[in-house]
Chains A and B, each alone.
Chain A
Amino acid sequence: MAIQQNSLALQLIRPGLVLLTALIVTSCGVDYSPAGFPDDGRIQTPLPPFEPAPGEPAHAPTTLPEPATAPAPPPVVATPPASTLLLASAREQMQAGNNQRAAATLERALRIAPNDPYLWHELAQVRLATGEWQQAIQLANKSRVLAGSDAELRRKNSDIIATASDRLQAN
């Protein structure tokens, strides 16, 4: 029973995963700039001097290089949005069978991106996996409201609602 639910949930997730991966890859491709990074990946950009801690002698910091000239703009490093990373860990936790942790991680992601319909959708998936049909329906509805014109996501939310409603009636 539980295994069936999981595989169903996975089927629902998969297209979303592809889409998200695509998003991450595109954003990296656009923004990533290796400027300022030599081969070993160490920051070589001159840093501004660190202000001495109050009440301590104002000697030069030992761990940071002194700026030779005006500080250059810091290197631009593209990282995927933090909420997307949390979404990925939530999926790992879910696949490892730890749904409660996955839910906690998704709530953490929602603190960063409260209106992201994908996060709400994923939380609906978790509730589907834990058999909390009512919550699965509510969360999918929430995702649907936020999804706007995203037809794919709307359809996936409708799928969750249909599945959860069936289960509710079967019980």
Chain B
Amino acid sequence: MVVTLLALIVTGGVYVAYLDLIVQHKFAGKRWALPARVFARPVELYTGATISRDQLMAELKRQGYRRTDGAAEPGSYAASSHRVQLYSRGFDFPDLPELPRQAMITFNATQIENITLIADGTPIDLLRLEPLLIGSFYPSSNEDRLLVPLDKVPQPLISALIAIEDRQFYEHHGVSPRAIGRALWADIKAGKAVQGGSTLTQQLVKNFYLSPRRSLVRKANEAVMALLLELHYSKDEILEAYLNEVFLGQAGRRAIHGFAQGSQLFFGRPLAELSIDQLALLAGMVKAPTLYHPRRHPQRALERRNLVLTVLAQQGDISAEQSKALQAKPLGVVKQSAVGLSRYPAFLDLVRRQLRRDYPDEVLLSEGLSIYSTLDSSVQEIAEQGLQRRLQQLADRTDAGDQLQGAMVISAVASSEVLAVVGGRSPREDGFNRALDALRSIGSLVKPAVYLTALAQPERFHLDSILLDEPLSLERIGEEPWQPQNYGGEFLGEVPLLDGLLHSMNVPTVKLGLELGVPAVVETLEQLGLNRPVNQQPALLLGAIGMTPLEANQLYLTLAAGGFYTPQRAILSVADRDGKTLNRYPLRLEQTLDPRAVKLLQLALQEVARRGTARSLQWLLDSNLNLAAKTGTTDDERDSWLAGFSGNLAAVVWVGRDDNQPTGLQGATGALPVWADVMAKLPLIANSPSTDDQITWLQSGAGRAAITAPVGVDCPGGYGIPVMAEFTPAGARPCATSDGTDTELNRHPDINKPLKWLFNKIPWPYN
């Protein structure tokens, strides 16, 4: 008997000790697997920033800012026709914290005219909005949770929660016999289970440690563990855990836990910005989140909220009048929540791939990392809309119809930061990401690499070197000889090197490439950033290389950056859950090409956009931008490409079909209008026309290469040939350089006419 009793006590003691181990172990460590959160680059507001009032308001809407009359609280704004009054939220940026500020922003048509502090009218130099959350990488549990420390939880929420869930919270030791008794009494009176007697501590134990199974043993474990938890930890620690553990609803596949994320789910705003009635709703939902779901059961949710408000008034937390006024308010929940939504799946895909190089999945998906990306949400939105709209128009005009697809990548020239990635016509769907995964022949997009290889040998080639445009036949082992043709099937005899590029002529390009050697061209491609093995065949000179739009963008980034190669980046830095920076991805560059040769090529590509194959750009976009561009079309019009750049942005567009069938679109008729539509809406900086003192402009004659001379260079007819200064050919006559005031640039009357001569055999340059 005694032995049995002793054995029972020992067993019980061991069991309690075992439970104690569980309680302490899980509470002491990292309590939850937290999703990694990816942020867009923050919007910077400053005098002269190219952002319109509407763009700012769109951004504020994405951030869940409320439009009010006075903008008196953080996270709100007011707007008139050309001003926005803003109360920013502030953000603890890894480099420099940004405090909440009340600012008045004045706009002109396209820019911010000035920003002042509301309080005293002093100018604000720079205001950084908090970064937009664009998506998360979730742990396998699919739990979505945003941790909030106790001191950041609004007091009314805590009061409401304790008032309706566990009035004796601060008095009991984990279980409340009184509450259990009262619940029992209520159940007996009602004849069914109407009230739960669980304390907040028990609820926490139930959710945090135990399976959802209902049993008597589990109930006993719950009580013991609640007592143990209270023994080891303070009320504040338990409350904080509860506030972050509690389940509040489902967003798609994600289970939303904790009040901070619950606030985002139902109100689209941070917890700190909620009003008392909104906090009361959240507190009221705890009891049965599905039953009181404010979007699905608004009436029930409203009644529950009002009950909580009544209790708050009874307790004296709020006055009776206040309670009455709050009860009259609508629920105020947002129609659709951004929680669990990945806004830009194609871009997130790129972020995930770059992160996988440095972080194993168990860290990426559970450590609550903050990932600061390079995405520019406004550029991304413009690109998505532009591509979608124009592809729809093109689809209506071609046989491809709904099969017509496209992709676009836009990056910043200076830093190779990827600003926007569009993976297809339905950019919000997480499907095939063409920008990253569609490996397509780049066609004539490769040609600049051929011409750059030549221009990098200034002792042999300049833009006015003569190329032979004659029938060409290359023997191939076991195959028919390769006989490249020009588009249009004509041969012109002699053409200047520049014209081969301007009009994307195949035969002169192949001849030039063979002269240089295919390996030399491949080396140039590698210097531009090509990072995959290629088949070194002559057909490569016409673009028989498969590349993704992202890779094609990299090549043109290096061209745009004057021969400085900077690998594309989608991530700036990664911080852990405490905000400590774990990893930075700084700007790195390497000069892989002669900047002067690249400058000459840039000038040629600018001319492509004036009177070459991409000439329609000059009518679609401001010609003062001196945009540089190259079209690409592959056999039977299966792929339509346009790659190009302004002084600040490099963008590439691909249009084609997933099944690789012809679309009837060339580079200039498919990808070009998409590119132009998007770029027209972006803040562009002009390409410099060449002020480099290492470039000399030479006079051009009839039938010679000719590039539009910049202001300040006085070439006859307005056209000249730029060459590297120390490689000026003997006998060449330089253009006069003026101070730019001479406007009598008598443009050559014919030169701007489209290339009729190529197709109609009007030998214009040769007459």
Complex Cα spacing A87 to B121, Å: 24
Which of B16-24, B67-75, B697-705 faces chain A? B67-75
Which residues of A (59-79) have their CB < 8 Å from a CB of B? 59, 61-64, 74-77, 79
A138 touching B564, Cβ below 8 Å: yes
Partner of A149, one of B572, B586, B693: B693
- What's the least CB distance linking B330 to chain A, in Å? 10
Are A112 and B46 also in contact (CB < 8 A) when A40-B120, A48-B83 are?
Answer: yes
Q: Does A52 contact B (CB under 8 A)?
A: yes
Q: Does B342 contact A (CB under 8 A)?
A: no
Report which residue of A42, A50, A76 has the largest number of chain B beta carbons within 10 angstroms of its beta carbon: A50
How many A-B contacts if CB must be within 8 Å? Answer: 143
Q: Does B415 contact A (CB under 8 A)?
A: yes
Residue in chain A with minimal CB distance to B107 = A74
A41 touching B120, Cβ below 8 Å: yes
Q: Does A29 contact B (CB under 8 A)?
A: no
A interface SS class: loop
Which residues of A sit under 8 angstroms from B692, Cβ to Cβ?
148
Which residues of A (24-44) have their CB < 8 Å from a CB of B? 37, 40-43
Residue in chain B with minimal CB distance to A115 = B647
Complex Cα spacing A105 to B564, Å: 21
Are A111 and B67 also in contact (CB < 8 A) when A41-B120, A48-B83, A148-B692 are?
Answer: no
Q: Does A156 contact B (CB under 8 A)?
A: no
Report which residue of B46, B85, B587 has the largest number of chain A beta carbons within 10 angstroms of its beta carbon: B587
B591 touching A141, Cβ below 8 Å: yes
Partner of B414, one of A51, A63, A115: A115
Q: Does B368 contact A (CB under 8 A)?
A: no
Which residues of B sit under 8 angstroms from A86, Cβ to Cβ?
126
Q: Does B732 contact A (CB under 8 A)?
A: no
B69 touching A56, Cβ below 8 Å: yes
A45-58 vs B, CB cutoff 8 Å, 1 = contact: the mask equals 00111111110100
A82 touching B80, Cβ below 8 Å: no
B595 touching A145, Cβ below 8 Å: yes
B415 touching A110, Cβ below 8 Å: yes
A119-139 vs B, CB cutoff 8 Å, 1 = contact: the mask equals 000010000000000010011
Partner of A47, one of B49, B83, B123, B590: B83
Report which residue of A42, A104, A139 has the largest number of chain B beta carbons within 10 angstroms of its beta carbon: A104
A50 touching B121, Cβ below 8 Å: no
Partner of A50, one of B80, B562, B685: B80
Which residues of A sit under 8 angstroms from B218, Cβ to Cβ?
none
Complex Cα spacing A64 to B80, Å: 11
Q: Does B250 contact A (CB under 8 A)?
A: no
Are A43 and B80 also in contact (CB < 8 A) when A53-B67, A59-B69, A145-B562 are?
Answer: no
Are A51 and B80 also in contact (CB < 8 A) when A85-B125, A112-B44, A135-B588 are?
Answer: yes
B121 touching A114, Cβ below 8 Å: no
Complex Cα spacing A96 to B509, Å: 55
- What's the least CB distance linking A90 to chain B, in Å? 10
Are A50 and B415 also in contact (CB < 8 A) when A63-B72, A107-B587, A141-B591 are?
Answer: no
Q: Does B723 contact A (CB under 8 A)?
A: no
B413 touching A52, Cβ below 8 Å: no
Q: Does A153 contact B (CB under 8 A)?
A: no
B415 touching A111, Cβ below 8 Å: yes
Complex Cα spacing A74 to B105, Å: 11
Complex Cα spacing A162 to B71, Å: 55
- What's the least CB distance linking B371 to chain A, in Å? 15
Complex Cα spacing A145 to B412, Å: 18
Complex Cα spacing A112 to B70, Å: 30
Which residues of A sit under 8 angstroms from B104, Cβ to Cβ?
43
A110 touching B414, Cβ below 8 Å: yes
Q: Does B79 contact A (CB under 8 A)?
A: yes
Which residues of B sit under 8 angstroms from A77, Cβ to Cβ?
47, 114, 116, 123
Partner of A142, one of B81, B96, B589: B589
- What's the least CB distance linking A127 to chain B, in Å? 9
Are A138 and B120 also in contact (CB < 8 A) when A47-B83, A148-B692 are?
Answer: no
Q: Does A15 contact B (CB under 8 A)?
A: no
Which residues of B sit under 8 angstroms from A76, Cβ to Cβ?
114
Q: Does B82 contact A (CB under 8 A)?
A: yes
- What's the least CB distance linking B748 to chain A, in Å? 29
B590 touching A114, Cβ below 8 Å: no
Complex Cα spacing A148 to B79, Å: 43
A61 touching B121, Cβ below 8 Å: no
Complex Cα spacing A12 to B80, Å: 48
Complex Cα spacing A83 to B604, Å: 31
B49 touching A142, Cβ below 8 Å: no
- What's the least CB distance linking B603 to chain A, in Å? 15
Complex Cα spacing A53 to B106, Å: 18
Q: Does A89 contact B (CB under 8 A)?
A: yes
- What's the least CB distance linking B142 to chain A, in Å? 34
A115 touching B586, Cβ below 8 Å: no
Complex Cα spacing A80 to B648, Å: 21
Which residues of B sit under 8 angstroms from A103, Cβ to Cβ?
584, 586-587
Partner of B48, one of A62, A81, A105, A138: A81
A48 touching B68, Cβ below 8 Å: no
Partner of B95, one of A51, A63, A82, A108: A108
Residue in chain A with minimal CB distance to B693 = A149
- What's the least CB distance linking B595 to chain A, in Å? 5
Which residues of A sit under 8 angstroms from B215, Cβ to Cβ?
none
Q: Does A7 contact B (CB under 8 A)?
A: no
Q: Does B537 contact A (CB under 8 A)?
A: no
Q: Does A100 contact B (CB under 8 A)?
A: yes
A61 touching B116, Cβ below 8 Å: no
Which residues of A sit under 8 angstroms from B470, Cβ to Cβ?
none
B125 touching A114, Cβ below 8 Å: no
Partner of A63, one of B46, B70, B417: B70
Q: Does A155 contact B (CB under 8 A)?
A: no
Are A41 and B122 also in contact (CB < 8 A) when A74-B106, A108-B95 are?
Answer: yes
Q: Does A167 contact B (CB under 8 A)?
A: no
A42 touching B591, Cβ below 8 Å: no
A105 touching B95, Cβ below 8 Å: yes
Which residues of A sit under 8 angstroms from B564, Cβ to Cβ?
138, 141-142
Q: Does B573 contact A (CB under 8 A)?
A: yes
A140-165 vs B, CB cutoff 8 Å, 1 = contact: the mask equals 01100100110000000000000000
Are A74 and B113 also in contact (CB < 8 A) when A101-B95, A112-B46, A115-B685 are?
Answer: yes
A56 touching B68, Cβ below 8 Å: yes
Which residues of B sit under 8 angstroms from A42, Cβ to Cβ?
120-121
Complex Cα spacing A66 to B664, Å: 59
A89 touching B96, Cβ below 8 Å: yes
B95 touching A104, Cβ below 8 Å: yes
Which residues of B sit under 8 angstroms from A112, Cβ to Cβ?
44, 46, 49
B591 touching A138, Cβ below 8 Å: yes
- What's the least CB distance linking A121 to chain B, in Å? 14
- What's the least CB distance linking B527 to chain A, in Å? 14
- What's the least CB distance linking B139 to chain A, in Å? 29
A82 touching B48, Cβ below 8 Å: yes
Q: Does B691 contact A (CB under 8 A)?
A: yes
- What's the least CB distance linking B177 to chain A, in Å? 50
Q: Does B78 contact A (CB under 8 A)?
A: yes
Which residues of B (79-96) have their CB < 8 Å from a CB of A? 79-83, 85, 94-96
| Known interface pairs A79-B46, A135-B588; 13 further A-B residue pairs with C-beta atoms within 8 A, sorted by A's residue number | A48-B83, A50-B69, A63-B71, A64-B70, A74-B113, A77-B47, A82-B125, A85-B126, A104-B573, A107-B572, A108-B44, A115-B688, A141-B591
A-B contact pairs, 13 of them (CB 8 A): A41-B121, A42-B121, A43-B104, A50-B85, A53-B66, A61-B78, A62-B69, A77-B123, A104-B573, A107-B415, A114-B685, A138-B589, A139-B589
Sorted from nearest, which 3 A-B pairs have the closest CB atoms? A114-B414, A82-B46, A53-B67
Q: Give chain B's interface residues, CB within 8 Å of chain A.
A: 41, 44, 46-49, 66-72, 78-83, 85, 94-96, 104, 106, 113-114, 116, 118, 120-123, 125-126, 412-415, 417, 562, 564, 572-573, 584, 586-591, 595, 647-648, 685, 688, 691-693
